[in-house]
Chains A and B, each alone.
Chain A
Amino acid sequence: MIVAEGLEQTYTSLGRPLRVLTDINLTVEPEGFVAIVGPSGSGKTTLLGLLAGLDRPTAGRVALDGQDINPLDEDERARIRAEKVGFVFQNFQLIPTLTALENVLVPVEIRRALSGGAAKGAEERAGNLLGRVGLGDRLHHYPAQLSGGEQQRVALARAFANEPKILFADEPTGNLDAETGRTVIESLVQLNNEERTTLVLVTHDTELASHAHRIIRLSGGRIVEDPGSRPG
């Protein structure tokens, strides 16, 4: 489902090059659950951004669901994200002017706008997703009216709204207390199992990572441990 070959990423900071990732090679099979762990500054989030097509690597290539995304322009990448990818962010990233239900519907509406097709039962599915994460009675509340954990659960529901093939989660419990984080993880894992998505999770939380089928450890911008990797 996800293939990365020879990925490198270098940024310019204060006029000097800063290499963040070096020679990253990995493959994630369909319906796989991969956790990318590592200390702060190891390049986890950068790798996630490259795999999701949010950024362009300095070197190497990424393929999602068999399609090389390197040659695609920004709008083409956006289309792929709309059709195949879901996101969960550390700071929830809900749109503050939309209700919970409207936030969940945004990916569906974007996809409908791009492809022209009518998404039947989208609102019902969105309500259903919110119910599955325990927010069935909070459909019309705005993010400001929800707690952090509740907001993250809305974000989870949004991530699954378009029935994505791939879900990227960046430190989904990073801004939550332990107990709330556990609730969110349970919802994430349950939804992932039910929806049969390929899940790539970035975290420094070992307990969260333990839920994954495979743990890829990064350090200093390199993969230092990957039990499921193929030689590059």
Chain B
Amino acid sequence: MKLPFILAMGRRESRASRRRLGLYAGSIGLGVAALVSINSFRANVTDAIRAEARGLMGADLELRSTRRFSAPIQELIDSTASDEIVVSYVTNFAAMALAVDVQRTHLVDVRAVQGSYPFYGTIETEPPGRWAHLRSAHNALVDPAVLVQLDAAVGDTIAIGNARFTIDGLLTKVPGDVGFVTALGGRVYIAAAYLDETGLLGFGSRTVYRAFFRFAEHRSLDSFLATYEDLLRNEQVRYETATEREQDFTNVLDLMARFLGLVGLIALLLGGVGVASAVHVFVRGKLQTVAILRCLGASQQMVFAIYLLQAVMLGVLGATSGVALGLVVQASLPTLLRDFLPVEIHVSVEWPVIFAGLVIGVWVAVMFALLPLLTVRNIAPLQALRREFESARSPGVLRFGAHAAVVLTMVALSIWQAPDLTLGAAFAVALGSTTLLLWLSAWFLIWMTRRLFSRKARYVYRQGIANLYRPHNQTVAITLAVGFGVFLVTTVYVVQGSVLRQISLDATPNRPNLVLFDVQKDQRDSVESLIVSHGLPILNTTPIVPARISHLKGRNVREILSDTAGPRVPRWALQREYSNTYRDSLVDSERLVEGVWWNSGYLRREGERGNQPSRRPLSQPRTAADVYRISVEQQLARDLRVAIGDRITWDIQGVQLETEVTNLREVDWARLNLNFFVVFEPGALDDAPQTFVTVTRSESARHRAEVQRDLVLAFPNVAGIDLAVVQESIDSILSTVSFAVRFMALFSIVSGLIVLGGAVATSRFQRIKESVLLKTLGGRNRQIRQILLTEYAALGLLAGLTGILLGSAAGGAFVAFALELSFHPPILPLAAIWLGTAALTAAIGLASSRDVFRKPPLMVLREMGE
């Protein structure tokens, strides 16, 4: 029978506070919206990928190799192909496309198709149906980006190598491809029948050979793999099934969504802080009412339940509005993240996610409300007679329990949202640590302000600062809430800025911004002459010698690969085709970490060790006993389990070359330099089959485009990369990624501002009282405005400073330790964030305090007296 009374009193007690409590409900709502939107989106993506699993690959199985399929493999494929198992080929390579009419060039990703690929899903084109005509003539289907890059149109002619194609249509949908891959080089589909005509598949071309299979029955696929897995591995042919592709996509997108969800979880935490703050102030205003109810006979349990009901109502309201907002945001996420999605996403309502959002929203509101609600339990009825009577504090065990409830809630939510237990626990620890640090920083800054603020300052400033630590102030809570949003934005900004700065082009005169590769040996001089004739410098020409490891420390690679008992060496490190080079000095992105660089052109004979110069100078003809020195990148050396003095035998186009590790290098891979895993000493590879990479520089993008055009006309196989374009593309990708993170962080920022607005609204009555008192004593509106402005600006400065200091620290630590890049705090942008936060806080504070100026003193005094 208690419930009807509790419900009735709960409803009545909320009458005067609904608007304010509604505001705080909004902060819970934002957190719920973040979780519902991202988790619903994740479910939609998973469903879409599952539905189009085979369409992601266009086949059941893909075989992939960086060299033409060896005879055993081709024999396997040919013997397998039948009515039941259909095979199609796609050959990928990068090449320069030339728009013949306008003479514009650009690097493109050429895909030559043979057979009826794709077996599943469709490649859609504009005009529709042009895929069917691809093989019928010299037709090309291109990405819209290619038209832009080449300044061409459908119907124009493009040259790829020595062959010419007509642009027959645009690619509008290619199953399984994600949008951002076209940022670096658009796709061009041609028929494989014209591949040889291009003349581009010669030595040094970076070509990927792919065979796609359609199996009539799935068990045939399983049987095929079981039978031929070893052969494929031995022939260094990689394979992937449609199921594995689906799983990969699902895992990546799931990871991305869960990560964004964790960011959204922060908004929920701030919502909880807002609720705790609101309930604290709400309860403080109800002390007399509770005392009266206790006087009139209500039990502890009854009064606690009445006010707990407020928290539940707040949670229900917040969670419900959050779900509604979340559904709206969910509908926009496919557009926001389209560059990262391999399939079209159909937005649908995910009821389990909605239910979880509602439960979580109410639960978080209640858990954060528990601690301030404990006060209600201990209010003595005697307070109705004596206002000054101090009620006892809640027992320690109850307060501990309330704190524990909050901590456990956030840990549980972190684990639930994260991809795995470890990451969830780590996130919970990070969240707790950040909260604690923000709280401590806020408390410290407030303390410092109090200590250091000059007593000689004008009254309005002193009063504004003093308001920060008035009894029952919400300063720390607001600083925490707003500061968290600033912390998130700052961290993302610092990381993004550091990454971009690291890879940005150095504008100094000797840094290249145009890279030309696949220059054949007999073309080198002519290419360099052409470049020089355009007035560009030859900054460097680097030889590239493709090679594979045949023996490692005397053991055959195949033997190592099949040895399951010995130490593990990664398969990729043993089987890959290395692009090696030779030179006599280190470059500026390298640093010697062990061993000694070769300074003399001497060869060693078999049996000689170390870096001792031998008696045979380089100028003498090489013999089979000669052992060349190599420098190995330190991480690769760890993977290969080689140290200084170990031997590696290389297979260079069928010729075996023995080498000895002489030193180890640390390479800064983030630099836009030509970096190598392995560097040979001069003379080792002079006669080896090789191509060259020539780098040059021009300040003018037009000039660079002209050079590329002339090169392509004269040397169709030579491809060029304008690094400025690459940087723009990387900028664009990073910006999209950071935008997605900042979008989720926005929930936290708005949540923090709601907490601010709510706290301001809560103390409104007290401010009105104070302003009336000041006006009665002769104060003017302008002075009151100055006091409020000082208070809110100080609050914003404190919150902003807390956020940017910790955000810079967190971002800097991530950049330095996780990304291993150098960290340079962006002072001016951080200052802008700081001052922006202060301005925004002051604006919200002043806007919420309009009543303070509007009401005439007498009206308020009358209201107060009654």
Spell out A's residues near B (CB within 8 Å).
45, 48-49, 54-55, 74-75, 78-83, 85, 87, 89, 93, 95-98, 102, 106-107, 109-116, 144, 147-148, 158, 170
CA distance A75 to B302 in the complex (A): 10
Contact A48 B385 (CB under 8 A): yes
Contact A116 B1 (CB under 8 A): yes
Nearest CB on A from B313, distance (A): 14
B-side interface size class: 20 to 34
Contact A147 B382 (CB under 8 A): no
Interface string of B320-356 (1 = CB under 8 A from A): 0000000000000000000000000000000000000
Nearest CB on B from A74, distance (A): 7
Q: B residues within 8 A CB of A102?
A: 12
29 pairs of residues in contact across A and B, judged by CB atoms under 8 Å? A49-B385, A54-B382, A55-B380, A74-B300, A78-B299, A80-B297, A81-B296, A81-B297, A82-B296, A82-B297, A85-B297, A89-B384, A89-B385, A93-B288, A93-B295, A96-B289, A97-B13, A97-B15, A106-B296, A109-B9, A110-B5, A112-B1, A113-B4, A113-B5, A113-B298, A114-B297, A114-B299, A115-B1, A144-B863
CA distance A106 to B288 in the complex (A): 15
CA distance A102 to B300 in the complex (A): 21
Q: A residues within 8 A CB of B818?
A: none
Q: B residues within 8 A CB of A93?
A: 288, 291-292, 295, 384
Contact B296 A107 (CB under 8 A): yes
Nearest CB on B from A21, distance (A): 14
Tell whether B426 is near chain A: CB-to-CB under 8 Å.
Answer: no
CA distance A59 to B386 in the complex (A): 21
Q: A residues within 8 A CB of B63?
A: none
Say yes or no: A95-B289 contact (C-beta < 8 A), given A55-B382, A144-B866, A170-B385: yes
Nearest CB on B from A64, distance (A): 13
Q: A residues within 8 A CB of B292?
A: 93, 95
CA distance A93 to B298 in the complex (A): 15
Q: B residues within 8 A CB of A158?
A: 296
- Report the tally of A-B residue pairs with Cβ distances under 8 A: 97
Contact B295 A81 (CB under 8 A): yes
CA distance A79 to B296 in the complex (A): 9
Closest to A116 in B: B1
Q: B residues within 8 A CB of A49?
A: 382, 385-386
Contact A78 B297 (CB under 8 A): yes
Nearest CB on B from A203, distance (A): 14
Say yes or no: A54-B293 contact (C-beta < 8 A), given A98-B12, A110-B298, A148-B866: no
Say yes or no: A54-B302 contact (C-beta < 8 A), given A96-B16, A144-B866: no
Nearest CB on A from B131, distance (A): 70
Q: Which of B9, B291, B298, B382 has the most CB of A within 10 A?
A: B298
Tell whether B164 is near chain A: CB-to-CB under 8 Å.
Answer: no
Q: B residues within 8 A CB of A116?
A: 1
Say yes or no: A87-B295 contact (C-beta < 8 A), given A49-B385, A97-B12, A170-B385: yes
Nearest CB on A from B860, distance (A): 13
Contact A45 B5 (CB under 8 A): no
Q: B residues within 8 A CB of A113?
A: 1-2, 4-6, 298, 302
Contact B1 A110 (CB under 8 A): no
Contact A75 B300 (CB under 8 A): yes
Nearest CB on A from B866, distance (A): 7
CA distance A18 to B298 in the complex (A): 30
Tell whether B8 is near chain A: CB-to-CB under 8 Å.
Answer: yes
Q: B residues within 8 A CB of A81?
A: 295-297, 381
Tell whether B294 is near chain A: CB-to-CB under 8 Å.
Answer: yes
CA distance A112 to B381 in the complex (A): 20
CA distance A77 to B569 in the complex (A): 78
A74-B300, A81-B297, A112-B5 known; 4 other A-B pairs, CB under 8 Å? Answer: A98-B12, A110-B302, A113-B2, A115-B1
Nearest CB on A from B337, distance (A): 47
Contact B297 A79 (CB under 8 A): yes
Nearest CB on A from B102, distance (A): 76
CA distance A75 to B294 in the complex (A): 9
Q: A residues within 8 A CB of B863?
A: 144
Nearest CB on B from A19, distance (A): 17
Closest to A50 in B: B382
Contact B294 A78 (CB under 8 A): yes
Contact A78 B385 (CB under 8 A): no
Closest to B298 in A: A110
Contact B289 A87 (CB under 8 A): no
CA distance A112 to B15 in the complex (A): 23
Closest to B14 in A: A97
Nearest CB on A from B333, distance (A): 42
Q: B residues within 8 A CB of A115?
A: 1
4 cross-chain pairs, A with B, having the tightest CB-CB distances, nearest first? A82-B297, A113-B5, A113-B2, A116-B1
- In the complex, which residues 286-317 of chain B have their Cβ closer than 8 Å to any Cβ of chain A? 288-289, 291-302
Nearest CB on A from B306, distance (A): 11
Closest to B2 in A: A113
Interface string of B12-34 (1 = CB under 8 A from A): 11111000000000000000000
Instruction: State which of B4, B6, B385 has its C-beta within 8 Å of the C-beta of A54.
Output: B385
CA distance A147 to B863 in the complex (A): 11
Q: A residues within 8 A CB of B294?
A: 74, 78
Closest to B300 in A: A75
CA distance A37 to B382 in the complex (A): 20
Q: B residues within 8 A CB of A170?
A: 385
Q: A residues within 8 A CB of B1?
A: 112-113, 115-116
Nearest CB on B from A97, distance (A): 5
Say yes or no: A110-B16 contact (C-beta < 8 A), given A95-B289, A144-B866: no
CA distance A145 to B385 in the complex (A): 23
Say yes or no: A75-B12 contact (C-beta < 8 A), given A87-B384, A144-B866: no
- In the complex, which residues 341-400 of chain B have their Cβ closer than 8 Å to any Cβ of chain A? 380-382, 384-386
CA distance A81 to B291 in the complex (A): 13
Nearest CB on A from B861, distance (A): 14
CA distance A107 to B9 in the complex (A): 12
